[in-house]
Structure 1
Amino acid sequence: MKILVTAATTLEIQPFLDFLQQHGETLKARQYRLGHCEIDVVIAGIGMMHTAFSLGGYFAVNKPDMALQGGIAGTFRHNWELGTAVVIEKEYLADLGAEDNDQFKDLFDIQLWQPSQQPFTGTALVNTFAGLPFAPALPSATGVSVNLVSGSRLTIDRLENRYAPDTESMEGAAFHYACLTHGIPFLQLRTLSNYVEVRDKSRWRIPLAVKALNEELVKTVETLNGI
């Protein structure tokens, strides 16, 4: 089984890379064999532009059996504990469009893209989880992807009212778009590092989220190796 594991930064998945180096066979830079699984790791970069470029280049010459994106994320749900792991079921492009006076209009509002035009389902990039050999038993979530991390009440209210999101990241939609376009079964794993609120980094729990993320990544590839 050939698996792509991608993340925005090395920081987010360094413990997972250490695990592969210790328990697997290194084939070449960021390519490993763990049992019957061949695992390619792509550090795609921060944001949708970097992620789309990196995955486009990778998928041009590779077609893995499964793609797995790992990362930390903010959450709009204050009843969810930081460090919680979730799988993202659908993603919205939450800041791509136009401003019309004091209103935001997305690509569908201004008719540059039509609802359910491939690879969208309605106006979302939806993971049906079809074709996956394994999906962890984690809560599913709705994500918004943004180029500018939300830190004002006005922006947060707009996102909540329009998309009712659970999480916010900077790369999820690009990952969903690339996998849906290429017909590759995929899974986006996120762990919650902070609440989406007026910016206060003293309340963020990045080490906790990174630890939880890497535990889930290791558990997932070990399970896949046993299938």
Structure 2
Amino acid sequence: MLLVLTATANEMRAAFPAAPAVGQGGTAGYEIGGRAVLLGVTGVGLLNTALCAGQWLVRPDVDGVVDLGIAGGYDLGGTPMGAICFAGAEVWPEYGLLDAHGAADPMGLGFAQAETGGGKVWNRLELSPERDAERMGLVLGDGWGRATGVTVSGVTGTRERADRLRLSCDGHMENMEGFAAAYAAALRGLPFLEVRTISNLVGSREPGDWNLKGALRSLHGAANTLFAA
């Protein structure tokens, strides 16, 4: 059975409008195309996601993790609003020794977060979305973009910081949960897939650089495609 995560109830409702209502920290069984899944709403942020994923992944019947949601795009030319992206890597740029500009050296403390089958985990997880989608019987849509996710504890509020993160992480989309979900799956040795739709330009507070409703509509289409098989 797949564990399907979103950060908020709104994202879960957008992805699966016919599913039972799920509140923060809650789960619900659901059937999609004849297959049983477990829907879970973690709450926003790394901490909520890690706590919930750690709790739910002790279930012996969970054999894969899917993380769905919206994200900001660092460059709307490459990741336009409404675009659907799947993560080829996740970076947590706040782990490590911080310098005066808030950039972190992940090895500066000398402690890796963990060691998995892929080696030591510092602040970056390389993912295998095509392979893991196939393992879980999921369909990646034509035209979906492969992107590096940057997971932050606080939403980037300036273009200057957005540019620093984009360059230092080789990042394409910003979120607040992806690294935690991917890390939890890696510790269990489970296949993992993260799919997000672009809702805004990272660092901008201008209304014209945001389209949450459009991103949620795209999320519904993404979920339909994923489970088409």
**Is 1:88 aligned to residue 87 of structure 2?**
yes
2:148 is matched with 142
Counterpart of 1:222 in 2: which secondary structure?
A: coil
**Is 1:162 aligned to residue 168 of structure 2?**
yes
Q: Which amino acid aligns with 2:99?
A: D
How far is the alpha carbon of 1:200 from its aligned partner? Answer: 2.5
2:14 is matched with 15
Q: State the TM-score, normalized to the length of structure 2.
A: 0.84
How far is the alpha carbon of 1:184 from its aligned partner? Answer: 1.2
CA contact (8 A) 1:20 1:34 kept: no
**Is 1:183 aligned to residue 184 of structure 2?**
no
Q: State the TM-score, normalized to the length of structure 1.
A: 0.85
How many percent of aligned residue pairs carry the same amino acid?
26
Counterpart of 2:16 in 1: which secondary structure?
A: helix
What's the Cα RMSD here? 2.2
Q: Which amino acid aligns with 2:222?
A: E
1:183 & 1:53 partners in 2: Cα distance?
18
1:113 & 1:62 partners in 2: Cα distance?
27
* Long gaps (5+) in structure 1: 22-28
2:23 is matched with none
Change over 3 Å in CA distance of 1:157–1:35 after alignment to 2 = closer
How far is the alpha carbon of 1:174 from its aligned partner? Answer: 0.3
**Is 1:215 aligned to residue 213 of structure 2?**
no
CA contact (8 A) 1:13 1:214 kept: no
1:124 is matched with 124
Structure with bigger gyration radius = 1
Aligned match of 2:55 in 36, 57, 69? 57
User: C-alpha offsets along residues 59-111 of structure 1, whole Å, 9 cap, x if unaligned?
Assistant: 11244232211100001122132000010110001122333334522332332
Which moved further from structure 2: 92-101 or 171-180? 92-101
1:198 & 1:184 partners in 2: Cα distance?
36
Change over 3 Å in CA distance of 1:121–1:17 after alignment to 2 = same
1:25 is matched with none
Aligned match of 1:48 in 46, 49, 59? 46
Paired residues in the alignment total: 214
**Is 1:76 aligned to residue 93 of structure 2?**
no
CA contact (8 A) 1:32 1:40 kept: yes
CA contact (8 A) 2:139 2:227 kept: no
Aligned match of 2:64 in 45, 63, 66? 66
Change over 3 Å in CA distance of 1:15–1:151 after alignment to 2 = closer
Counterpart of 1:156 in 2: which secondary structure?
A: helix
**Is 1:112 aligned to residue 118 of structure 2?**
no
How far is the alpha carbon of 1:123 from its aligned partner? Answer: 4.7
Change over 3 Å in CA distance of 1:103–1:8 after alignment to 2 = closer
* Long gaps (5+) in structure 2: 21-26
Counterpart of 1:148 in 2: which secondary structure?
A: coil
